[in-house]
Homo-oligomer: A and B are copies of this chain.
Amino acid sequence: MISLKKLFKFSIWFLFFFFSTIVSTPARPWLGGVRRKIRHKQDMYSTFSTTKTTIHKDLKVLYYPQTLDHFNYQQESYVTFKQKYMMYSKHWGGAKDNYPIFVHFGDEEPMFNDEINWLILPDYAAKFKALVVIIEHRYYGWSKPFGMSMEEIIKNTTVRGYFNSAQALADSAEIILFLKKRLNATYSPVIVFEGSYGGMLASWFRLKYPHIALGALAASAPVLYFDNMIEQNHGYYYVVTNDFKEASENCYNTIKSSWAEIDKIGSTPKGLSYLSNKFKTCSQLQETRTLKDFLENMYDDVAQYSDTDNNPSIICKAIDQGKKGNDILSRIYAGVHAYFNGTHHNCFNTNYFDDYSVETNLGYDWQTCSEMVMPVVRGSHCLDIFSAKKDDPEWLVNQRKREVEIMSGWIKLYHNDLYKFMK
C-alpha cells in the first residue's frame, strides 16, 4: 500500500508543465480517472439521460457546431457536429474586469449535466470569481457526430479517422476562442483542468495552444508515458505489484504463486468447478483466464484507487491472516472477500470490473490502440480534481492550497502584464 506520506511525496498533481509521474492509466487500454466516477454513477449510466440529473440554476448546457476536421481544407472537413459544453457561472466575476475562465476538459466518458458536482472546480472558481466551462470530448456522450452510436463510429473508417486527441484539442481551442469572443472576455486568462486522459489533454493544450491557455492543472496525467520517455520498470504493473509488495512481502508471494496454482487446478473440468465453488463465481468458470482477469482487475483497482477504505493492505491483511484457510487459494479468496467488504455474499460476478459504458470501452480502446499506447505508474488517481471531502487527508488539502497559490501567481502576473501593456 502507498502510505499517505508516500502519496504526498509522490504527489499526484501537475501544474503548468511540471508534472509528476505518479499516475495510472494501465498498460491495457483500461483507463484511469473514469472508473471511480463510473462506480459512483452506475445508475446514471444505466439510463444515460440528461433529464434525470440535477441541473444547477447557474449551469447552462450548450451545444457548439464543431468542425469535424481542423487540419484540412477539404469540403467535407467543414462538416460540423454538435459538441456538448456547459457553463457554470455561479462565481463568475464577469469579463469586464478580466476574471478568469477555468476550462474542464472532458475525457473518455460523457459529461453529464451534474459533472460540476464531482469537481473541485467550483471551489476554485469561488476563490477566483471564475467562469467554469466543461467541454465534452468529441465522440463521447452527447458529442458524437451525425447521431451515430460509438459502435457505428468505430465501424465507420471515415468518421473514426477524426477520433484523436489532436482534433479534440483543436475542438477545445475553437470553443474557448468562440466563448471569449461571445462573452467579450478577450483578456480573461484561461486555465485548463482535468485528470487522467483529460489531464493529458490539459497539459498538451497548454503546450500546443500557449496563446489560449495561461496554465494547466493536470491530475494523474501520464504525459511522459510515450516514446519511451520513462523507464520500463516504472510501468503500471510494476507499480501495482510493488504496492502489494510494500503492503506485505508474504502477501506478494502468495499472490505470485497463486497464478500457477489456479492454472494447475483449473486444467481439468473438475478443477474449474472446484475453482468456481471456491471463489463463489456467479457462473461456472469456462477457463482459468476469467478468474485470473477478475483477480488482476481487483488488484489493479485497489492499487489505482487506493484510499483509507480500500487499499492493498486491507486485501493483504486478509490474505496473510488466512481467515478462509491456509492454502493459497483460500488466502486469495479471503482477499477477495475483504475487498468486497462482506457485500456480494451469494456470488461474485467475474465481470464486476468491466463496468465501463460500451462507448468508453470501445472509444478509449480505439484511442489507446491508435495513438496512446502506454504503460503506467504510482499513486491514487486524479484525487485532486474531484470535489473536496471532509475526510480528505492533510496532504491533499495542502496540495490544493498550493495549487491555488500557484494559479493566483499566474493570474496576478498576467493581470499585471495586461494592465501595463494596455496603459
Smallest CB gap from A229: residue in B: B211
Q: How far is the CB of A269 from chain B (nearest CB, A)?
A: 43
Which A167-203 residues sit within 8 Å CB-CB of chain B?
Answer: 167
A162 is contacted by which of B72, B158, B163, B164 (Cβ under 8 Å)?
Answer: B72
Q: How far is it, in angstroms, between the C-alpha of A268 and the C-alpha of B158 when the chains are bound?
A: 59
CB pair B74–A71 under 8 Å, yes or no, is: no
**A167 contacts across to B, CB distance below 8 A:** 71
Q: How far is the CB of A60 from chain B (nearest CB, A)?
A: 26
CB pair B207–A75 under 8 Å, yes or no, is: no
Q: How far is the CB of A157 from chain B (nearest CB, A)?
A: 6
Interface check A161, CB cutoff 8 A = yes
CB pair A72–B69 under 8 Å, yes or no, is: yes
For this chain, the copies found in one complex come to: 2
CB pair B74–A158 under 8 Å, yes or no, is: yes
**A157 contacts across to B, CB distance below 8 A:** 74-75
Contact with B along A80-107 (1 / 0, CB 8 A): 0000000000000000000000000000
Most buried by B among A72, A158, A161: A72
Which A130-171 residues sit within 8 Å CB-CB of chain B?
Answer: 157-158, 160-164, 166-167
Q: How far is it, in angstroms, between the C-alpha of A14 and the C-alpha of B207 when the chains are bound?
A: 20
A73 is contacted by which of B70, B75, B370 (Cβ under 8 Å)?
Answer: B370
CB pair A73–B210 under 8 Å, yes or no, is: no
CB pair A161–B207 under 8 Å, yes or no, is: no
Q: How far is the CB of A110 from chain B (nearest CB, A)?
A: 22
List 19 A-B residue pairs with CB atoms under 8 Å apart, sorted by A's residue number.
Answer: A69-B71, A69-B72, A70-B71, A70-B166, A71-B71, A71-B164, A71-B166, A72-B161, A72-B162, A72-B164, A73-B160, A73-B162, A73-B163, A73-B164, A74-B158, A74-B160, A75-B157, A207-B210, A208-B208
Binding site for B on A (CB under 8 A): 69-75, 77, 157-158, 160-164, 166-167, 207-208, 210, 370
Given contact pairs A69-B71, A74-B160, a sample of 19 additional A-B residue pairs in the complex whose CB atoms are under 8 Å apart: A70-B71, A70-B166, A71-B71, A71-B72, A71-B164, A71-B166, A71-B167, A72-B72, A72-B161, A72-B162, A73-B160, A73-B162, A73-B163, A73-B164, A74-B161, A75-B157, A77-B161, A207-B210, A208-B208
